[in-house]
Amino acid sequence: MVLVAPIWLILHYRSKRQVSQGLTEEEYIQLSELSELADKMSERIKTLEAILDAEAPEWRNQA
C-alpha cells in the first residue's frame, strides 16, 4: 500500500494535467475529420430514409 499509493497519485495527476492541456494539433485534425465524416453519414442516412419512405412507407413500423 505504501508503494502503490504514491505511484497511483503521480500517474493520476499526470493524466489530469494532460487532459487539462487540451487537444494536440493532431487530435484536433482527427476530431475535425471525424466530425466531417459524421456529417456525411448523417446526410446519407437522411437520403436513405427518404428513399425508404417513398418506396416502402411502412418500413418504420417494422423496426
pTM beyond cutoff 0.75: no
| Cβ atoms of 31 and 23 closer than 8 Å | yes
What is the predicted pLDDT for the residue at 19? 67
Cα first-last separation, the chain? 53
Q: What is the pLDDT of residues 19-56, one digit of tens each?
A: 667 778 898 899 999 999 999 999 999 999 999 999 99
Is pLDDT at 12 greater than 90 in this prediction?
no
What is the predicted pLDDT for the residue at 27? 86
What is the predicted pLDDT for the residue at 20? 64
Cell of 59: 418500413
Cα pseudo-dihedral 27, 12, 20, 22, rounded to 10? -10
Every domain of the chain and the residues it spans: 24-63
Local confidence band at 14 (pLDDT 50, 70, 90 cut-offs): confident
